[in-house]
Every structure is written in structure tokens, then in C-alpha cells.
Amino acid sequence: MDIVERFINYTKINTTTSRENGANGIMPSSPGQMELAKLLAVELEALGMENIEVRDTAIVTATLPANTDDAIPVVSFFGHLDTSAEQTADTKAQRLHYSGGDLCLNQELKIYLRESEFPELKNYIGDDLLVTDGTSLLGADDKAAIAAIMNALEYLVAHPEIKHGPVKVGFVPDEEQGLRGAKAFDVAAFGADFGYTLDCCGIGEFVYENWNAGDAEIIFTGQSAHPMSAKGKLKNSLLMAHKFIAMLPGGEAPEYTEGREGYYWVKQLQGNSARTVLKLDIRDFTEEGYKARMAYIRQLAVSTCALWGENSVVCHLTDRYANVFNSLQGDAHYPIDIALRAYQKCGITPQPVAMRGGYDGAVLSQKGLPCPNIFTGAHNFHSIYEYLPVRSLRAASDVVVAVIEETFAEFAQGRAQS
């Protein structure tokens, strides 16, 4: 099956994550994710994969057996089944040739992918782009990954002369809700030595650094009173929360930061005069910076509680995921080296980027499976202007094959002799 046809088939299944179901602990949070999981299991079986499993959480795993007697570590690849909840409509994907300028996605609704807004389009003049009709997400986040991985497996099966060790794949649900699928993934039972996610980024980009990420929930308890007799009695928890927010460091918010600059993100504020809940995301690339930010929130809660009275401010801090860079040092650095050689083998200049976000590989790495991130080639994730150059999608699949080849070369001829 052609990789473009494969990708478009996947986009026809609506796998929008459900925040409501996710908040209630349901996984997968949407039925389309299980539908896609079952379809992948059928396709994996047709390719001759072994140990195919579809769990009731919609986590899919399978193994391509080694075709060599050499002792080669088990390499693995991951994609996520769900798409973001920013748009919930069914995807109507289309393939359009891009000749430059603005690209019309929907003539009736006058929706255009405009070069002035997305200047990187100039890099794809002469290419075909996979886009929507402007009424939904494309779902390249992360169905491009799934298509690239499945295409690579199909290629390896069709070319048994390419020697390789065991190759495992994993497809997980609800990445768009705090990496829930990866957190539920059983790394030990999976049995891989290292892995790669494919998630985000234009052709050539390569991620082995992301946020240290934490969540803060601060509960403000006030004292309600009728306004006609409120003087000296009313203690407004909403105003307490606003004063707390005002004491956060100025300029250290997402809208003011870039690159490796960390931030505090005021993400949700809900309540009334009696009780208000504030939710914050805390992000920093360094472990020291992250710990300092979490400590600052904790101390601010203690100080404001002392100011406003006992139990007026309660703070809950939790770690979400760590910087994958922490798990790719020393003896665990080799997945980076292998991927960089694979890019070069495919004629692609590696472009390492620090991801201002999280991905499944960060969680998998924390669990003991070193896992950098390879590009899918797509742009404008979580937007109706999401697009995927066909050349980039094919390149992502080529890199997967090259990683498998370089893994064999590294361990059959290199490390095995050292």
C-alpha cells in the first residue's frame, strides 16, 4: 500500500481525544482510537508480524523478528493514536500540489493556507501537500508517524536482504492528555532495548531534549458573606487567586518566552468567592531550574497562607515528565548517534531542536527505554492549517528503515567487536 493512501485511510477514523472521558480515567478516551488500534492489528498480521497484542486500553504492540543470527539489540518505534481536541470534526484529507503562494483549502468557505502566515511553505514549492478542507485537523499528529512506521515495516518485509535484529512497534492512546498511553505502557514486558517516537516537526528535525514538566494545583479557601453585611467578614478567594498570580515572576509566561526559557503557565482558574482552584503548568529545561520553579510555587503558597490565614491556601505539586536528555547520557547515548547517522544516510541534514513540550518518549525514557524523537514532516499541529508534505512523510519512513539498518551495522560490526 502506498504511504499516502495508508495515511489518508488512517485520517478517516476520528480519533479525537476526549478530555472529559480522560478526566474520568477512561482509556482510550474515544472509541475511534480502539477502531484504529484494531485496524493496525489486522495490517500488522497481514505483514507477518508476531506477538501482536491489542489491549483494552487500545495499546498496540507487535514484533518483526530478526532475520540474522547476530546479537542485535531490540529497536522500537512509537506513534500515538489520538488527535488533539482543538477540533472534533471528521477529517476530509486531500492531496494538493503546491506551486507557491497561497493554497486554497476550501473554495466555498474561502479558507486558504497563506504563505504570508506560514513562510516555511516556500520550502515545499513543487511538492504535494496533504491538507484538510479547513474544517478539521489533518491528524498528522500523529497518524503520519503511524503511516511512516507501517510503511517501513512493509518495506523491510518486502526486502529480506536487509539484515536486521528484532524490531518492535508500539501505538498508544491519549498522548494529547498528559501522555496517558505512555504512562500506562509496560516497558519491561515490551522487551525493547531502545526506541524512537515519531511526533512533530518538519523534515530533518530531531529531538532529544524537552521540558522538565510539573503541575501545580492551588486551592484558595475564602469566607462567603452576603454583600450587604460583608464588611470585615467576606474573604474573596477569587481575589486571593488573582493576587497569587500577580506575584508570579513577570515575563516568565509562555507568551513571553522562547528557546530554552522556562515559564509558569496560568492554565485554569475556576471558582467563586468561597473557593477557587488555580492550575499552573511549570516548565524548565534544566533539572535545577525546574526544582527552583517548583520550590518557588511551594514557598509562595506558604507565604500567602500565612498572610490570609490557616488553610486559606493549599498547594499540590506533581511531576508530569522529565527532560528526555536526562535519560540519554553515558551508555544510553547511542540511540542519538544511530539516528544522526540514519538521517545522513538518507541525505537529510539533522536539525536538533529542544522541544518546548512533551512527548511519549520522555515518559518511556524515564521508565528505562531511551527514546529520542524523529520528525514526521508535518507542520501546524493542532490547527486547521496543519499540512504534511508528501516528500517529508516518505523521508520519515526512510529514516525508520535507516535506523534499523544502522542498528544492525552498529552492533553486528561495531560494538560486538569492541
As annotated, the binding site for Zn(2+) includes 80, 141, 176, 199, 382
Order of strands across the sheet with 94-97?
A: 94-97, 128-131, 388-389
Cα–Cα dist 72/227, whole Å: 73
Phi then psi dihedrals of residue 380, to 5 deg: 60, 45
For Cα atoms 30, 32, 34, give the angle at the middle one, nearest 5 degrees.
90
Residue 116: phi, psi to the nearest 5?
-65, -30
How far is the C-alpha of 14 from the C-alpha of 81, rounded, in Å?
Answer: 10
- Cβ neighbours of residue 42 under 8 Å, at least 6 residues apart? none
**Where would I find the beta strands (DSSP E) of 225-334?**
263-271, 275-284, 313-321
List CB contacts of 358: < 8 A, sequence separation 6 or more.
179, 210, 211, 213, 320, 321
Nearest to 313 by CA among 216, 242, 221: 221
Contacts (Cβ under 8 Å, ≥6 apart) of 80: 142, 145, 171, 172, 173, 174, 175, 176, 181, 199, 360
Active site residue 128: no
The single residue of 43, 142, 175, 406 carrying the catalytic annotation is 175
Quick check: is 70 catalytic? no
Residues at the binding site are 80, 141, 176, 199, 382
Nearest Cα neighbor of 177 from 259, 38, 80, 262 is: 80
CA distance linking residue 326 with residue 188, whole number of Å: 20
Report d(CA 104, CA 106) in Å as an integer.
6
Helices 140-158 and 390-409, packing angle to 10 deg: 50
Find the catalytic residue in 82, 174, 209, 406: 82
What is the set of active-site residues? Answer: 82, 175
